[in-house]
Amino acid sequence: MARLDELRLMAKVARMYHQQGLTQTMIMKRLNIHQSTVSRVLKRAEKEGIIRVILSVPSGTHPELEEALQEAYGLEDAVVVDCVDDEDQIVRDLGAAAAFTVESTLKPGDVIGISCWSAALLAMVEAMRPTQRAGATRVVQILGGVGSPGAAMHATNVTRRLAGLISAEAILLPAPGVVGSPEAKRVLMKDQYVREALALFKSVTVALVGIGAVEPSKMLAASGNVFSNQELRQLTGKGAVGDICLRFFDAAGQPVITPLNDRVISMDLNELRRVPRVIGVAGGRRKLNAIRGALAGKLVKVLITDLATAQRLLHGRSR
């Protein structure tokens, strides 16, 4: 039991720190005690019940659920967003959350890789505000962006807009995500600008990726960067549950190897695993198995998803 004079000091320091808003350095100078003493007294005040911390979690936030996801899947971070159960609205809400995450976590010197055929990442770019604080040096397109005439400019715009918003240099990958044959891919891989973009993959420090189901999204289907129905059935037969950058993986997050890989121009899954920080933005019931597979394979280190998907991911984990 602390003596009365000790309790008196605890109460005085606690009041100065928590009610008067003084810093520990200011308290040290005012009371003529060492800063380590101030820190120790504050800790003892908590133990004695003089300071009681009450956390009031704002409505619409889910820190316990985020922590549960981090623990269950070994994530560095998780962001759970309240959304109505509508695919288009989920995309917009996840994009807004991703915009805040990117704005608040980018560091000077970061090289950002972005997967271009993702509706959530498009929504992210649309929600971002211009900033020069981040100091990122480059934004690298990590999935081929050339597609059908109606969609040809989309990937280029997403990459360039993100680069402009954070005052970085845009590095484009001037090739389709899917080409017609391995021979066509070999020809494109000889192009100087394609080679230069691919060479930068190893320098990426932050990758922003969507997580796709085997059945392509409306945006991807419209781009022309898709496989035929027969080829998709082949992937499903091999156990594929989803893709990142059109690189398909199974329920354990392991690459599904088929000849179709020889027609894709993008960062592959092994390259992705070497990126220090991979932020996956995806949600909705349609993508549940794909997201679960990506988490099982440690393909993403940060997950931004909706509330219902987060609950399903944890429910499936516990069974």
For residue range 65-116, what is the model confidence (pLDDT) as tens digits? 999 999 999 999 999 999 887 888 999 999 999 999 998 888 889 999 999 8
Asked if residue 250 has pLDDT above 60, the reply is yes
The pLDDT value given to residue 318:
41
Which residue(s) pair with 80 in the sheet?
Answer: 305
Which segments within 51-92 are labelled E, that is strand? 77-81
Asked if residue 313 has pLDDT above 80, the reply is yes
Say if CB 147 and CB 223 are below 8 A apart: yes
Q: Give the total residue count for the chain.
A: 319
Asked if residue 319 has pLDDT above 50, the reply is no
Alpha helices in 106-200 (DSSP H): 119-127, 154-165, 182-188, 192-199
The mean pLDDT of 37-66, rounded to a whole number, is 88
Of 113-127, 139-153, 176-190, 305-319, give the lowest mean pLDDT range.
139-153
Q: Could you tell me the pLDDT band of residue 224, with boundaries at 50, 70 and 90? A: low
> CA 80, 83, 86, 89 torsion: positive or negative?
negative
The mean pLDDT of 273-281, rounded to a whole number, is 97
Asked if residue 268 has pLDDT above 70, the reply is yes
CA distance 224 to 235: 18
Q: Could you tell me the pLDDT band of residue 146, with boundaries at 50, 70 and 90? A: confident
Say if CB 118 and CB 248 are below 8 A apart: no
Residue 216 has phi, psi (to 5 degrees) of -70, 150
CA distance 245 to 121: 13
The pLDDT value given to residue 117:
81
> CA 213, 152, 175, 98 torsion: positive or negative?
negative
CA distance 278 to 299: 7
CA distance 297 to 250: 9
The pLDDT value given to residue 149:
59
For residue range 180-211, what is the model confidence (pLDDT) as tens digits? 899 999 999 999 999 999 999 999 999 999 99
- What spatial distance separates the first Cα and last Cα of the chain, rounded to whole Å? 47
Q: What is the token pair recorded at 198?
A: 């691919």
Q: Could you tell me the pLDDT band of residue 42, with boundaries at 50, 70 and 90? A: very high
Residue 131 has phi, psi (to 5 degrees) of -150, 145
For residue range 155-181, what is the model confidence (pLDDT) as tens digits? 788 999 999 999 999 999 999 888 989
CA distance 44 to 207: 43
User: 3-state DSSP call for residue 138?
Assistant: strand
The pLDDT value given to residue 152:
53
The amino acid at residue 9 is: L
Asked if residue 45 has pLDDT above 50, the reply is yes
The mean pLDDT of 236-255, rounded to a whole number, is 96
Of 39-53, 76-90, 126-140, 227-241, give the lowest mean pLDDT range.
126-140
Asked if residue 33 has pLDDT above 80, the reply is yes
Looking at the chain, the whole-number percentage of residues with pLDDT higher than 90 is: 68
Domains of the chain: 4-47 (1.10.10.60), 63-318 (3.40.50.1360)
